[in-house]
Chains A and B, each alone.
Chain A
Amino acid sequence: MALAKRIIPCLDVDQGRVVKGVNFVGIRDAGDPVEIARRYNDQGADEITFLDITASHEGRETTVHMVEAIAEQVFIPLTVGGGIRELADIRRMLNAGADKVSINSAAVHNPELVQQASDKFGAQCIVVAIDAKQVGEHKWEIFTHGGRKPTGIDAVEWAQKMAQLGAGEILLTSMDRDGVKTGFDLGVTRAISDAVSIPVIASGGVGNLDHLVEGVQQGGADAVLAASIFHFGEYTVMQAKEHMAAAGIEMRLD
C-alpha cells in the first residue's frame, strides 16, 4: 500500500478554448475543453491542469465558465494556472470549481501573495509554478514572461522560499526543455525535489514514456505533467501509467 505517483495532462486554453492543437481520433471539435477533460478523465488521468493564456479580462470570464462546466462533469482534481495575480483571481477560480490554482509570475513580483493565499484558502490549493533555466553547472535561474525575462533568482532557493510561505506544491517547468521532447531536466528536478518537503510536479520536455519514468526515478518528482504526447494521440494516459507501473513505479491503474 503506497501513495501513487501522478500523471497530469496539461491543456493550454485561450478564452475557454483549448489551443496548441489537440488531436484525438473521433473528436471533431478538438478545441472543446470539456470534451478533452472528459477524455483524459476516462483514460485515467490523476489530475488535469489548465494553463489559461487568455490575454483579455473579458476572455477570462469565459475561462471561468469553462472551469464550471468541467467541474460538473469531471471528478478528479482540476488546477488552473495563468493570469492569477491577486486573491480575487484565486477565489474566482476556486468558486468556479477549480481545486487548485497555480501562481507563477505574480509570486515573483509579490511573494506575499503566496502566503496570503495559503492562509486564506489553505496550502492544499496553492501551487507555485516555477519556470527555470539552467545558467551554470548545477545552477538554475527563475525566468518570467514565458522564459524571456531573467530575474536573477536562484530556482532552488526560490522553491524553498515558496514552500516556507505556504505553497502546497511546486510545478517545475524547465524552459530549456519545454517543447523540445528530449526529456525533463532531471538535474533541476532532483535539486528542487530534494530541497523542499512539499510535492514537486515535473514539467517540460516529455517526448516519450521513458521520460516520465526518469522524472520520477531520477528526478524524484511526485507527479509528471505532459501535454503533446497525449494531445496528438501518440499515447493514452493509461498507456503511460502502465509503462510507469511496469518500471516499478506505484501508479493508480483502476
Chain B
Amino acid sequence: MAVMSKRCAVIDYGMGNLHSAHGALQHVAPDTEVLVTRDPEQILSADHVVLPGVGAIRDCMAEMRAQGIDQVVEEVRRSKPLLGICVGLQSMLQHSAENGGVEGMGLFAGEVKFFAEQPEVQQQQLKVPHMGWNQVQQEAHPLWHGIADNSRFYFVHSYYVEAGDPQQVMGRCHYGVSFDAALAQDNVFAVQFHPEKSHNAGLALLKNFLAWDGQA
C-alpha cells in the first residue's frame, strides 16, 4: 500500500510572487506535495496551509474577500496548522492603519501601525520600510525548535503589528519601537518576517511548521 504523502497548500489570491514560499517549503520537505492554489477544496484538504501576502493590505483584504479566502481561512484555523507570513499575518489582526484604515480578519486582537508615524522612529530618523535582517526574541513554541533565541530573520515592511493579547506573542522585534514579529493561537502561527528568505533560520522554521501538528 502506497503511503500518502502530506500536502501543504500555499494560498494564492493573486497578491504577488509565491515562487519563493513554494520553493522554500518544497526544499525543506521534498516528500511533501506543496501546492500553490486558490481552490477552497484543495486548501481544505491539505495537511498544512500557508497564507502569504505582499503589497498593500487594502488590496490583499479585497482580493481575499472577493474570492472567499477569508471564509476558507476561518475554516482552516479551526482544523489544521496555518502559517501566516508578512501581510498574511497583518490580515489576521482586527485593524490596520494602512490605506486610511482597513478591517482585517480579526483572528488576533490588536492592530497594525505605521512605523513612520511613531515618534521614536522619527527622532532616530530610521528608514522606512524596515528592511533587512533583525533579531527576534522568542517565546517558547514548537516552531522555534532548533533555532537559537535572537536569531536574525529577513524583514521588509512599513507597518507593524501590536498585539492586543500579550499571551499570543511568540516573537518580539525592535525597530525604533518594540513590535510583535510572531503571534500564535492554537494551530495558527504567523510571522512578520519572510522565513522563505531568511536562510537557515527561516528554513528551519518552515521545516518545523510542516512537522507541526498544531498543538502548542
Instruction: Show the binding face of A for B, using Cβ within 8 Å.
Output: 1-6, 41, 46, 68, 71-73, 75-77, 94-99, 121-125, 168-169, 197-200, 222-223, 252, 254
Contact = CB atoms under 8 A, between A and B. Distances in A.
B23 A169 contact: no
B132 A223 contact: yes
A159 B95 CA distance: 33
Nearest to B26: A72
B8 to A, nearest CB: 16
A213 B109 CA distance: 42
Contacts of A223: 132
Contacts of B24: 75
Contact of B131 (A1, A76, A98, A222): A222
Interface stretch (B37-45, B150-158, B162-170): B150-158
Contacts of A73: 27
A254 B133 CA distance: 11
Contact of B197 (A6, A72, A76): A76
Contacts of B152: 4, 252, 254
The dominant DSSP class at the B interface is mixed
Nearest to B201: A254
Contacts of A99: 17, 20, 197
A97 B23 contact: yes
Contacts of A125: 54
Interface residues of B, number: 42
Contacts of B127: 197-200, 222
A95 B155 CA distance: 20
B137 A1 contact: yes
A12 to B, nearest CB: 23
A95 B128 contact: no
B116 interface: yes
Nearest to B122: A197
A170 B148 CA distance: 32
B134 A97 contact: no
A75 B199 contact: yes
A199 B131 contact: yes
A198 B56 CA distance: 17
A247 to B, nearest CB: 18
12 contacts: A1-B135, A1-B174, A3-B155, A6-B133, A46-B132, A72-B23, A76-B199, A97-B20, A99-B20, A122-B54, A197-B125, A198-B127
Contacts of B133: 3-4, 6, 46, 252
B132 A6 contact: yes
Nearest to A67: B19
Nearest to B150: A1
A200 B125 CA distance: 13
B105 interface: no
